[in-house]
């Protein structure tokens, strides 16, 4: 019987090993750093690479092992880099070129000089797709190639890019954090913007003229240079602003821009839980400009320190009227007599519990810190409060918690418009 079990176990091991080998495209190491693939582009248009890859060890939340860098070449010509930052498989999308159908040779090389993570990188799959939507061609054609310094391979990394077509075309870059500017004060960043990520407008058109956000938040016309026929920008300040590519930033990123959802800019983060997770991982391991932790895994509700991103309720709402900075959000739980407020603190503007939107007619997002471990089923009511002296008109757009995987868990708040008189709170029962 024991012999039969041993034989069966060996067969299972053989089957599992065979399956795993088939599921892995290549394992890149310092001694075997390269993999070449021959893929085929079946249609004309912008070619997009979908590379599924993972780290063998470490990851963005592990100091000194945050990321590994792959150099990607088309044929014999260097194209861009892929920054791998997670032990879990992630699909990295690279905008390649606008070309004709035919074979395409791609070479991936583990750049050990640029990589902070010295372990292996596992390539699980690689595939090409072609944009077949003519409306997207212009979004891809003018989307900027980004170049960054090696310091951003462990902090303040520009993780993805989005585009919006309003009156003019506009590209926005989403960074994992910001060490300069407002980012020196994480509590202020969380209080005012309801996030620790940094979001920056990069490039847009003004009457058809390409314009970029330069140091000092100044708008300047872009006149070059270009990479692969697309505008090339360097991230050249510690608060995530841009300069024309100067050739001094060695890491090259060629993102496929995503269409940005309407509403607050943070909504693009909601559809990418992996991004919120790596932002959280980064701020938990870093210190701010005063030498204090940027965030703590579990904080008291009335602690000015920023907590884990999953400790907050996120509320999006619109409001008009009222007095300047008169709107606030309150939350009641089913089993706790306290009322939790986004503006509980008094005094320092840098305290994340002392912020109120201006109610100028736009859409706003605020966060309300809750006791650690509160779940969706624990929420009884979410309300919009009027701290001013004149009535305000408001409406909830969305309210949610983050689940264990940092994905939004929406609450069924009332989204119909309502009026809130001074000194009162209009609650939506769940």
Contact between residue 130 and residue 167 where contact means Cβ atoms under 8 Å apart = no
Q: Pick the range with the lowest mean pLDDT from 73-77, 351-355, 358-362, 411-415.
A: 351-355
Residue 239, helix vs strand vs coil: coil
What pLDDT sits at residue 251? Answer: 98
Instruction: Assign 2 a pLDDT band (cuts: 50, 70, 90).
Output: very low
Q: Pick the range with the lowest mean pLDDT from 111-120, 260-269, 291-300, 344-353.
A: 344-353
Q: Tokens 């060996």: give the residue.
A: 10
Instruction: Assign 66 a pLDDT band (cuts: 50, 70, 90).
Output: very high
Residues 305-315: what's their mean pLDDT? 94
How does DSSP assign 16-79, residue by residue? HHHHHHHH--EEE-SSS-EEEEEEEE-SSEEEEEEEEEEESS--TTSTT-S-EEEEEEETTEEE
Q: Which range has highest mean pLDDT (120-129, 317-326, 349-358)?
A: 120-129
What's the rounded Cα separation, in Å, for the pair 222 and 145?
13
Residue 184, helix vs strand vs coil: helix
Q: Pick the range with the lowest mean pLDDT from 30-34, 71-75, 166-170.
A: 166-170
Strands 258-259 and 226-227: unpaired
Average pLDDT, the chain: 90
For 332-337, the CB contacts below 8 A with 24+ separation are 332/379, 332/380, 332/381, 332/383, 332/427, 333/370, 333/374, 333/378, 333/379, 333/380, 334/377, 334/378, 334/379, 334/380, 335/378, 336/371
For 366-406, what is each residue's pLDDT tens digit? 999 999 999 999 999 999 999 888 999 999 999 999 999 99
Kindly report the three-state secondary structure assignment for every residue of 73-140. EECCEEEEEEEECCCCCEEEEEEEEEECCEEEEEEEEECCCCCCCCCCEEEEEEEEEECCCHHHHHHH
| Domains of the chain with CATH codes | 24-130 (2.60.120.260), 134-274 (no CATH), 298-429 (2.60.60)
What pLDDT sits at residue 348? Answer: 52
For 336-366, what is each residue's pLDDT tens digit? 999 999 887 754 555 656 678 778 788 999 9
Question: Which residues on neighbouring strands pair with residue 49, listed in sequence order?
Answer: 94, 128
For 221-280, what is each residue's pLDDT tens digit? 999 899 999 999 999 999 999 999 999 999 999 999 999 999 999 999 999 999 999 999
What's the rounded Cα separation, in Å, for the pair 35 and 26?
7
Strands 121-130 and 102-110: unpaired
Residues 313-321: what's their mean pLDDT? 93
Residue 225, helix vs strand vs coil: coil
What's the rounded Cα separation, in Å, for the pair 202 and 260?
14
Residue 194, helix vs strand vs coil: coil
What's the rounded Cα separation, in Å, for the pair 254 and 234?
12
Instruction: Assign 300 a pLDDT band (cuts: 50, 70, 90).
Output: confident
Residues 71-87: what's their mean pLDDT? 97
């Amino acid at each position: 019987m024991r012999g039969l079990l041993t034989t069966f176990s060996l067969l299972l091991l053989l089957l599992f090993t065979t399956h795993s080998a088939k599921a892995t495209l290549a394992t890149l190491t310092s001694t075997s750093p390269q993999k070449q693939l021959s893929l085929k582009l079946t249609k004309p248009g912008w070619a997009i690479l979908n590379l599924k890859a993972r780290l063998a060890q470490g990851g963005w939340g592990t100091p000194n092992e945050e990321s590994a860098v792959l150099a990607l070449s088309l044929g014999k010509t260097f194209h861009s880099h892929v920054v791998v930052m997670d032990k879990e498989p992630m699909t990295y999308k690279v905008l390649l070129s606008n070309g004709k159908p035919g074979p395409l040779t791609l070479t991936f090389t583990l750049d050990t000089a640029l990589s902070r993570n010295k372990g292996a990188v596992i390539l699980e799959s690689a595939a090409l797709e072609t944009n077949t939507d003519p409306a997207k061609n212009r979004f891809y054609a003018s989307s900027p190639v980004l170049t960054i310094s090696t310091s951003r391979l462990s902090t303040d990394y520009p993780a993805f890019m989005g585009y919006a077509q309003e009156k003019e075309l506009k590209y926005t870059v989403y960074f994992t954090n910001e060490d300069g500017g407002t980012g020196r004060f994480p509590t202020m960043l969380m209080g005012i913007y309801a996030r620790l990520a940094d979001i920056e407008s990069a490039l847009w058109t003004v009457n058809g003229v390409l314009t970029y956000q330069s140091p000092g938040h100044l708008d300047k016309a872009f006149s070059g240079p270009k990479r692969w026929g697309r505008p090339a920008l360097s991230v050249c300040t510690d608060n995530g602003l841009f300069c024309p590519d100067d050739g001094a930033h060695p890491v090259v990123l060629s993102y496929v821009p995503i269409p940005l959802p309407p509403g607050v800019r943070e909504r693009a983060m909601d559809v990418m839980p992996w991004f919120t997770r790596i932002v959280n991982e980064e701020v938990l391991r870093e210190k701010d400009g005063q030498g204090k932790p940027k965030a703590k895994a579990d904080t008291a509700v009335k602690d000015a320190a920023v907590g884990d991103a999953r400790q907050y309720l996120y509320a999006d709402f619109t409001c008009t009227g009222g007095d300047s900075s008169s709107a606030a959000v309150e939350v009641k739980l089913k089993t706790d007599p306290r009322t939790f407020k986004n503006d509980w603190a008094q005094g320092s503007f840098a305290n994340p519990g002392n912020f109120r939107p201006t109610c100028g007619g736009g859409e706003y997002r605020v966060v309300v810190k809750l006791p650690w471990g509160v779940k969706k089923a624990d929420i009884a009511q979410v309300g919009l409060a009027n701290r001013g002296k004149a009535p305000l008109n408001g409406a909830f757009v969305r309210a949610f918690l983050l689940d264990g995987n940092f994905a939004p868990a929406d609450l069924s708040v009332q989204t119909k418009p309502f009026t809130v008189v001074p000194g009162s709170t209009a609650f939506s029962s769940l």
